[in-house]
Structure 1
Amino acid sequence: MAPRPKGGFTRRWRILLLIAVCAGLAFIRPALKGGPKVDETFSLKHGRDGFKVGGGKGKGQSSQITIKNDARVQWDETLEAQENAQGEGRSDLETGADGSGGGAETGEAAVTKTPPEGEAGGWDWETMPVPEDFHNPDTDLPTNPPEDLWDDPPDEGWRPCIKRPKNYPPATPLNETNGYIMVNLDGGLSQQMFEICDAVTLARIVNATLVVPKLEYDAFWKDASGFSEIFDLDFFRYRLRKEINIVRVDEMPKELQSEDMWHMGNRQYLGQPEDYYREELPALREHRVAWFRLGFYNPLAIYLPLQYEKLRCRAKYDALRFSERVVGFGQKLVEKMRGMGGGRFVGMHLRFEEDMLAHSSCDFGGGEAEAAYFAQMRTERKWPEADRTAEQLRKDGQCPSEPREVAKWLRGLGFGPDTPLYLASGKIYRAEYHMANFKAMFPQLQTKRSLLSPAELAELKGKSNFMAAVDLYVLTHADVAALTFHGQMRWQIAGERTWKGFKKTQMLPNWLMPCIEDKSWDEFQAEVRKWEMSGGPRNRSGEAYPVAIYGNPIPDCMCQKPGGPPLINAVKITEASGL
């Protein structure tokens, strides 16, 4: 019997490990499902100073929706919780702001407010209009749309330029490569797509054959969708045939198909080619298979030599496309949205789920019960506590923007109540409370659940990666994309819309919102329009923070026609980019 390669696991030990993990999950799952026990009636109330849950008398005009909740608040692992918990240093959670909701108004009785149980009160925000007796004062704010509200920004002569040069070395014959690279992807779908393209590039760097990557198995949704269910594998292999060889496990040599024969690869975080030449190539040649099993986040540097940046772009923007089934669902949703409002619609990504809110240490109007609930989540996930109070975090613009605030931002940009708006999100925290506010301002709000038939929804049940792919398709093809969170999905959408011709893409300036919420409406609109980011050409090397090629392909993979204007953030390109 051949000796087991270094770094491999025997089947016996894998089984024992699996048993131990399952036992641990069985022990902690009841705790994860727990939340503050509530049995009280909530009133959603609008006063002069904002949207409140309360009892007692508030100031100014008020209107109430009564929501009955007598169930435990359930833990929900959202579609992108893994993306943000496992990516960008295990916490890709950023924060924005909301000026109200920190407790009862002055003069009101203090009320303990805890998260209600979704649709327990009977109002289904996705499929039902806002109750007639509910009023959000912000609904009356004038729209004042600018003439270019729906216009794409000018492309300034920038076009894709990723063709291989004539002297580009072809892919090495299959039987002459240094071995095989196998990658287990992790995170949400956007992160997995970036990792797929990095895997292609790494295979080229070390002259290896790439085994079709394994998508993340979602432990909450039990989603075991394979590569071919989300992406067009045949097209992917064909478009990259001149770069690398790509095979399925069953196409590998028989003696290498067993996991017991695979060497554990050593990912070099933000590595350069020379790091892999030194640290991984010798073992690959010896063992023939390098299995990157324990995460593949950021295996390559943000800036690589130009030939590899262009390969990343060929993989991402040319070769990696969604499967026909994903495109079919996505196109159906796009057509339905276009049929609602003169052929145009806004696609919005909203991140307002329990995991990111708990991570922020901010206050979202739930009182002591909410604070205790989120503190428990931070403890369970070993997230650090904030070094400032919730009030100070909000004042500093470090709290996630609430749906009420997002709706006001969209109205400030000029979108009115007749705007069809497609929402992509996970399970929104206290949706009855927060989405009543949003939907009052944008009654044509739609989701997959409101647009698809019960039979179609049944096909998607439990398919988190598939649903994320459909959302990505819709947001990429929307007339305007409105993004509210600086996570992986934001970069995925922004990069694709830039590549497809600079489609208008707005990014919520959540750091700005606390500073302008008390300004007059004219001043508010002027401020949000001043800071809008409309998806025009920008130099990724000129930003104040690192931007991967997947979030902005300029200047490495897009070239400007002679005589075009300089980029608004033009700087000298770094030597690392190879330009």
Structure 2
Amino acid sequence: MARSKIAKKQCYISVPSQIISSISSSSIQSLLAPPKKSSYKRTTSKLGFLIKSPMFWVVSLFIFAFLGMSKLFLNLDPLTPFFPNLCNTFPRKHSPFLIMQSHLQLGGEKQDLISEGRLDLQSGDSGGVGGGVDGGGGEEREFWKQPDGLGYKPCLNFSEEYRRVSREIMRDRSRYLMVVVSGGMNQQRNQIVDAVVIARILGAALVVPVLQVNVIWGDESEFSDIFDLEHFKRILANDVRIVSSLPSTYLRKRPVEESRTPFHASPHWIRQHYLGRLRRDGVLLLRGLDSRLSEDLPSDLQRLRCKVAFHALKFAPRILELGNKFAERIQSQGPYLALHLRLEKDVWVRTGCSPGLSPEDDEIIHNERKRHPSLLTAKSNMTAHERKLEGLCPLNALEVARLLKALGAPRNTRIYWAGGHPFGGKEALLPLTREFPNLFNKEDLALPGELEPFAKRASFMAAIDYIVCEKSDVFMPSHGGNMGHAIQGFRAYAGHKKYITPNKRHMLPYFLNSSLPEGVFNKIVKELHQDSLGQPELRTSKAGRDVTKYPVPECMCNHSSGH
């Protein structure tokens, strides 16, 4: 990641002449002057007289105070009128003036965060890659170290047959696919990716997807509110024809609606069930596309998935601008870790897990689940403890803190946490903030009024989280989910940026063993995560993997092998 480089050049301090004259006129001058030839007795006598002189101590105190202030403010910009030759030999992030300036940029209301230790603008010397900062120790440097990617680089080499069919699809004006996508922003992204691929399979033009109003958050955003529509059309111009609306000749036709697409449908199934109907009526409407398209597709269609996910689905300009601002505010102080915390009330209810805050809080979640059994998406025949041991529950704040410490994260690590407000409020985050006080989210980083236009737009907020997480030096989710999967694939495709996958199933028994010494615990946890710290995994090594989460080998080639 690009960071401002520090110019290194020789410099000296030009001390004001008034100070020099005051020093030279003092009695200390006699002490600094070359000694005259005299007896040892006379010299020591004179030295003793000076040491006993009050003037000696006054001048000495002045000199030491001056030197101390020079050291302290060596990088203080407002002193340049008095020290005209002062230069930035040392990193600007240590400048007290820059700290004050950063505080002003973050807004006056952030003073409480700084005073509480939650927002540390001085801690720019936590080990960093690409930041020109010494990590202060091998363990810290190792934490920020990026994987080498094993030589894999993005490459979307479509076959000649794919390109030939593309020309035919672009000429067709008789088939149109309409889709309605649902869920949160990241879930909608997945469905849009599959909608493009289904349109390609059917040889149909894709009408810009409709984003269903989210019943939980009441978000009424349209496609162009979240994504850059013109960019979307331009990137896919040679793959699928994208139209903003149906042609007038089709407006009076009632589109045939199909909502019974099975999970993991193959291209053959889609053609067999939809192509005849589409040729007859000209328009097909699909709903509920989540996980409806198979993860195992021909190579060209897998590459199309990657093209949509990693190239075509770019956020709208104003979302991109704000997300980049937040990332730059954190990044200006050095490397940072992004953490997707899944601690919201609905997550605990849906997963069948207990938050572990208190017996009263666990009872609230249990009763909510009993009142709304349909919300439970996990296996109902398992207890909350059994689910936890199987690695099916989100990590709570204490477990996240212990994991990060074991993996070598320095205490002054700046952590951006994404996600909704945790069940239990700020109290739920205390185990994490005690170990890592520089913990903040988008509300902490925003200037007054900066987030107001997005207050009731959950998709906007999720998009901002996505951008800041994608740009982080290290990313870790506390639980699986659409956002974690999307970020994992994007970070692999964009340069193998470090991604930590918590090995929950194997590490939790050690978390529960309170007799384990910390050193032994840390060693075990590190060993359990050696294979899940960002190195690319082959999608083909396990059936049913999503190519947008594991883009190797369909969407990335190993340049060292000449592919």
Q: Aligned partners of 1:457, 1:127: CA distance in 2, in Å?
A: 21
Equivalent position of 1:344 in the other structure = 335
> 1:283, 1:491 → 2: CA distance?
34
C-alpha deviation, 1:531, in angstroms: 2.3
Mark the CA change 1:391 to 1:534 in structure 2 (over 3 Å): closer, same or farther. closer
1:84 matched to which residue of 2?
Answer: none
Residues 270 and 301 in structure 1, CA contact (< 8 A), matched pair in contact too: yes
| Cα distance in 1 for residues equivalent to 2:410 and 2:214 | 38
How is 1:306-321 mapped onto 2 (pairs within 5 angstroms)? 306-321=299-314
After superposition, what is the alpha-carbon deviation per residue over 1:74-132, rounded to whole angstroms, capped at 9, x for unaligned? xxxxxxxxxxxxxxxxxxxxxxxxxxxxxxxxxxxxxxxxxxxxxxxxxx99898379x
User: What's 1:508 paired with?
Assistant: 502
Q: Secondary structure at the match of 1:184?
A: strand
Q: What runs of 5+ residues in structure 1 fail to find an aligned partner?
A: 1-123, 132-141, 565-578
Once residues 369 and 443 of structure 1 are traced to their aligned partners in structure 2, the CA distance between those partners, rounded to angstroms, is 25
TM-score, normalised relative to structure 1: 0.69
Match of 1:493 in 2: 487
Superposed CA deviations along residues 48-89 of structure 1, whole A, max 9, x for unmatched, are xxxxxxxxxxxxxxxxxxxxxxxxxxxxxxxxxxxxxxxxxx
**Residue 433 (structure 1) aligns with:** 427
Which residue identity lines up with residue 244 of structure 1 in the other structure? V
2:369 maps to which residue?
A: 377
What is the aligned counterpart of 2:322 among 311, 323, 329? 329
| Contact 1:126–1:447, Cα closer than 8 Å, also in 2 | no
Picking from 170, 176, 195, the partner of 2:172 is: 176
Counterpart residue number, 2:116: 129
How far residue 322 of structure 1 moved from its aligned partner, in angstroms, is 1.3
Match of 1:229 in 2: 225
Secondary structure of the structure 2 residue equivalent to 1:507: coil
1:183 partner SS = strand
Identify the range of structure 1 (398-407 vs 301-310) with the bigger mean alpha-carbon deviation. Answer: 398-407
Q: How does 1:294-313 map to 2 (within 5 A)?
A: 295-313=288-306
- Distance in 2, Cα, partners of 1:143 & 1:522: 17
Distance 2:310 2:388 in 1: 38
Contact 1:480 1:506 survives alignment (8 Å):
yes
Answering whether residue 274 of structure 2 is matched by residue 280 of structure 1, we say yes
Q: Counterpart in 2 of 1:419?
A: 413
- Note closer, same or farther for the CA distance 1:242–1:369 as it changes in structure 2 (3 Å cut): closer
CA deviation after TM superposition for structure 1 residue 178, in Å: 4.4
Q: 1:153 corresponds to which residue?
A: 147
Range moving further from structure 2, 547-556 or 507-516: 507-516
Matched, 1:554 2:552: yes
Match of 1:357, SS?
helix
Structure 2-normalised TM-score?
0.71
Q: Counterpart amino acid of 1:540? A: R
Give 1:209 shift: 0.5
Shift of 1:516: 1.3
Q: Percent identity?
A: 28
2 CA distance for matches of 1:420 and 1:502? 21
Matches of 2:262 and 2:275 in 1, distance apart? 12
Is residue 345–residue 365 contact of structure 2 (8 Å, CA) maintained in 1?
A: no
Change (3 A) 1:243 1:171: farther
Q: What is the one-letter code of the residue matched to 2:499?
A: T
Quickly say closer, same or farther: Cα 1:185–1:126, change in 2 above 3 A.
farther
Q: Cα distance 1:394–1:206, how it changes in 2: closer, same or farther (>3 A)?
A: closer
Secondary structure, in 3 states, of the residue corresponding to 1:494? Answer: helix
Alignment-mate amino acid for residue 478 of structure 1 = S
Alpha-carbon distance, 1:404 to partner: 1.1
Describe the superposition over 1:320-339 as per-residue Cα deviations: whole angstroms up to 9, x where unpaired.
21121111011101111112
Instruction: Judge conservation of contact 1:177–1:207 (CA < 8 Å) in 2.
Output: no
Q: CA deviation at 1:179?
A: 1.1
2:528 equivalent in structure 1: 531
Contact between 1:171 and 1:245, CA under 8 Å: does it hold in 2?
A: no
Segment drifting more, 173-182 vs 300-309: 173-182
SS, match of residue 498 in structure 1: helix
User: How big is each residue's C-alpha offset from its partner over 1:19-65, in whole Å with a ceiling of 9 and x where there is no partner?
Assistant: xxxxxxxxxxxxxxxxxxxxxxxxxxxxxxxxxxxxxxxxxxxxxxx
Q: How far did 1:394 drift?
A: 4.1
The 2-side partners of 1:399 and 1:516 are apart by 16
Say if 1:521 and 1:539 are closer, same or farther in 2 by CA, change over 3 A. Answer: same
Greater radius of gyration (CA)? 2
What residue identity is the alignment partner of 1:228? S
**Contact 2:327/2:471 (8 A) holds in 1:** yes
Q: CA RMSD in A?
A: 2.6
Gaps of 5+ in 2: 1-110, 119-135
The alignment partner of 1:450 has SS state of helix
Secondary structure, counterpart of 2:395 in structure 1: coil
| Residues in 1 aligned to 2:337 and 2:222: alpha-carbon distance in whole angstroms | 30
**Aligned residue type for 1:549:** V
CA distance in structure 1 between the aligned counterparts of 2:391 and 2:302, rounded to whole angstroms: 34
Q: Which has a greater percent of helix?
A: 2
Change (3 A) 1:174 1:538: closer
TM-aligned CA deviation for residue 194 of structure 1: 1.5
Moved more, 187-196 or 500-509: 187-196
1:382-430 deviations in whole A, cap 9, x for unaligned? 2377434444444554443211110111111111221111010112010
Alpha-carbon separation, structure 1, partners of 2:369 and 2:462: 25
